[in-house]
């Protein structure tokens, strides 16, 4: 066991911070020390923001997004196009798309991808809720914005089958050359996908 340099409260803070994505034990120690030094300006407001988040954060029962209201702000936003749903694996993907797109649509967060080997079937995801939303009849297009991984694509195929009977347009994100990307650096799979989904100039 490594030698302790601080009391149990500080050790606990370091251990918890080390579990945050992007922070290993070393950066957790640096972060903890920074927080402790800035007790009034940072540690106290952070603690109260976290306390408030613990109390108020909930999962939207309609779309699976996290917010402080249920239904979430996106679901209740009347300015959003109610005829388009973008399906994502995780809330982080929703946030990424919101930062990037001009598309003012609704979302559906699956909570992962189908992965039979890990025991994740349709019932472990929010697929039933998605089908119910489509069955309600207002949605015209479902955009499958899942990852370009084997699990993501398996999930996309499964969803396409599930949604076939409703007559909605099911689309997926294009796979191919990233903006600013050089062809020479792309792997064969990406290049092949880019060629296959070529568009008229």
Binding mask 66-105 for Zn ion (x = CB under 5 A): -----xx--x------------------------------
Q: Given the complex with Zn ion, which of 62 and 155 has the nearer CB atom?
A: 62
Alpha-carbon distance values, 175 to 48, 59, 68 (Å):
43, 30, 34
Closest-CA residue to 110 (of 100, 98, 121, 99): 121
Alpha-carbon distance values, 127 to 158, 159, 162 (Å):
10, 8, 9
In degrees and rounded to multiples of 5, residue 169 shows phi and psi of -80, 120
Q: Given the complex with Zn ion, which of 133 and 172 has the nearer CB atom?
A: 133
Q: Given the complex with Zn ion, which of 63 and 156 has the nearer CB atom?
A: 63
Q: Given the complex with Zn ion, which of 32 and 75 has the nearer CB atom?
A: 75
The distance of closest approach from Cβ of residue 48 to Zn ion in the complex, given in angstroms and rounded to an integer, is 26
DSSP 74-120: TTT-TTSEEEEEEEESSHHHHHHHHHH----EEEEE-SS--BGGGTB
The distance of closest approach from Cβ of residue 62 to Zn ion in the complex, given in angstroms and rounded to an integer, is 5
- Helix or strand run (H / E) with residue 32: helix 25-37
Q: Please report whether residue 63 would count as binding Zn ion according to CB under 5 A.
A: yes
The distance of closest approach from Cβ of residue 80 to Zn ion in the complex, given in angstroms and rounded to an integer, is 10
Name the residue with tokens 């800035």.
38
The distance of closest approach from Cβ of residue 67 to Zn ion in the complex, given in angstroms and rounded to an integer, is 7
The distance of closest approach from Cβ of residue 98 to Zn ion in the complex, given in angstroms and rounded to an integer, is 13
Q: Given the complex with Zn ion, which of 60 and 139 has the nearer CB atom?
A: 60
Q: Could you list the residues that contact Zn ion (CB under 5 A)?
A: 60, 62-63, 65, 71-72, 75
């Amino acid at each position: 066991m490594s030698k302790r340099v601080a009391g149990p409260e500080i050790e606990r803070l370091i251990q918890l911070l080390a579990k945050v994505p992007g922070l290993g034990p070393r950066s957790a120690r640096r972060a903890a020390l920074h927080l402790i030094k800035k007790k009034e300006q940072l540690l106290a407001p952070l603690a109260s923001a976290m306390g408030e988040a613990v109390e108020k954060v909930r999962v939207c029962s309609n779309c699976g997004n996290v917010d402080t209201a249920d239904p979430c702000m996106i679901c209740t936003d009347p300015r959003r196009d109610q005829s388009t749903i973008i399906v994502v694996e995780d809330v982080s993907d929703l946030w990424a798309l919101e930062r990037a797109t001009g598309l003012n649509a609704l979302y559906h967060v699956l909570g992962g991808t189908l992965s039979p080997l890990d025991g994740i079937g349709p019932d472990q995801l929010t697929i039933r809720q998605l089908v119910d939303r489509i069955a309600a009849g207002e949605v015209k297009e479902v955009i499958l914005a899942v990852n370009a991984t084997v699990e993501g694509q398996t999930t996309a195929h499964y969803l396409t089958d599930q949604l076939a009977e409703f007559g909605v347009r099911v689309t997926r994100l294009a796979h191919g050359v990233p903006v600013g990307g050089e062809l020479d650096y792309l792997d064969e799979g990406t290049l092949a996908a880019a060629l296959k989904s070529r568009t008229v100039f």
